[in-house]
Amino acid sequence: MNPRELCFAPAHVQAARLRSRELSPVELMRATLERIEAINPRLNAFVSMRPTEELLADARAVEARFTRREDAGPLAGLPLGVKDLEDTVGLPNTHGSLVFKDHRPRRDTIQVERLKRAGAIVIGKTNTPEFGYTCMTTNRVFGTTRNPWSLERTPGGSSGGSSAAIAGGLVALATASDGGGSVRIPASYTGLVGLKPTQGRIPWGPDDTLRASHCIVSGPLSRTVEEAALWLDVTIGEHPLDPYSLPHPGYSYRDVIRTAPKPLRIAYSPTLGYASVQKQVRREVEAALRALEGAGHRVEQIDEKFPDVALEWSCLMGAEDFGVLAHDIDDESLLDPGYLPGRDMARQATHVTIADIQRLRARLLRQLADVFARCDLLATPTTSTVAFAAEGPMPFFVDGEPVTSPGGGVAFTYIFNFSGNPAISLRAGMDDEGLPVGLQLVAPRLREDVLLQVARQYEQLRPWAGVWPAL
């Protein structure tokens, strides 16, 4: 395996080569650190790293376990990036904010703890916008992260550092989270698989304050569907510190995807009744759906008009975020100006405002229940456009026409955080400039199995896994 093949090899392929002793954990760690040293200055994906000698010592420890023929875990020896919104021992967690630039957590999140238990080696933190609040990744602590496909473009947000690291061949594994599209938007802009599971599928926290919005989840960003299934297999299952966490479903998602799905009814909504979409994005999404039709699924365009919940979702998330963070913010001048509108919206929210938001949410759930009574999956573009400029602004014009949704160019994702449905972004194709386009598939709650089955089938029909930026 040549160096480029190694750095873009999927996580499950790297793990198999490590277990078979064809590849040494030390060799993989050295190759990873060399790649980061060479490429990261252009991407700014990683913003802090553990010392090299510590990482090599961890790799040697895994190699020793292999030598003793011990089961070191399904991710044994794989380098892991952790999003800089997520706690992990030994590294800062700045939340992309000057407020927390010196914060060093004393514990791992449940997700990181489980990934480490599966054998992954945390190597560093990946960049994020302040508090994960925007769909591009730039902040006043570490600066701007860039898209490996085009350095002038954003890799998305808020998991932009992780998406740039994976799509740029720095690591095969990096954590991500999604409160309004923060897994799926970066997946769309960088050509990755991005899964937002049902809330509770991967336990959240532990946090000092329980989240009540029921919008934010952890989920995998990966180069292939099998990696996403593997990620779920090692991170899911209830935890006593997350009262909303779900029991283990009782099966392996890697086993599930080995069976092709039955013929499905797929409802296709090109706009959800309110969003804009570039002609080239729509072209690639519809080509992807034709491939699924060729596999025996029935795709039918629907004219359903869904509510655009951009303002209600923003208010709910802003009220929660500002409530959680308010005790830590002594000097508001340290906050990025882009965060302030959300703070102001949160301050104006009353109990009546929140009740009205939850009333709208209940209506949306009834509407989606009716849709899923008639179909198995809902398909949309993941984003309105391909990746925009690295430092913004977010697109408010599409093909020369003004965007009417307050959600701008990312109006397809937050609605499914609001509803709680699992959703996945897959690479639909490429635009005329060679930038990735995303297809979003949405399922009823708890049906990640169906999403991953059809995603794996699609991946076999349209294999993008070997097509990555040259850098």
118/220 Cα distance (integer angstroms): 15
- Reply yes or no on whether 125 is catalytic: no
Set 182, 213, 218, 384: catalytic member: 182
83 catalytic? Reply is yes
Catalytic residue among 24, 97, 150, 158: 158
| Other beta carbons within 10 Å of 389 | 14
Joined together, the tokens standing for residue 48 give 């802090």
Q: Rg of the chain over CA atoms, in angstroms?
A: 21
Secondary structure in 3-state letters for the chain: CCHHHHHHCCHHHHHHHHHCCCCCHHHHHHHHHHHHHHHHHHHCCEEEECCHHHHHHHHHHHHHHHHCCCCCCCCCCCEEEEECCCCCCCCCCCCCCHHHCCCCCCCCCHHHHHHHHCCCEEEEEECCCHHHCCCCCEECCCEECCECCECCECCCCCCHHHHHHHHCCCCCEECCEECCCCCHHHHHHHCCEEEECCCCCCCCCCCCCCCCCCCCEECCEECCHHHHHHHHHHHCCCECCECCCCCCCCCCHHHHCCCCCCCCEEEECCCCCCCCCCHHHHHHHHHHHHHHHHCCCEEEECCCCCCCCHHHHHHHHHHHHHHHHHHHCCCHHHCCHHHHHHHHHHHHCCHHHHHHHHHHHHHHHHHHHHHHHHCCEEEEECCCCCCCECCCCCCCEECCEECCCCCHHHCCCHHHHHHCCCEEEEEEEECCCCCEEEEEEECCCCCHHHHHHHHHHHHHHCCCCCCCCCC
Annotated catalytic residue, options 24, 83, 97, 314: 83
CA-CA distances (angstroms) from residue 143 to 82, 95, 211, 219, 457?
Answer: 17, 13, 28, 24, 38
Q: Is 182 a catalytic residue?
A: yes
Q: List, by residue number, the catalytic residues.
A: 83, 158, 182
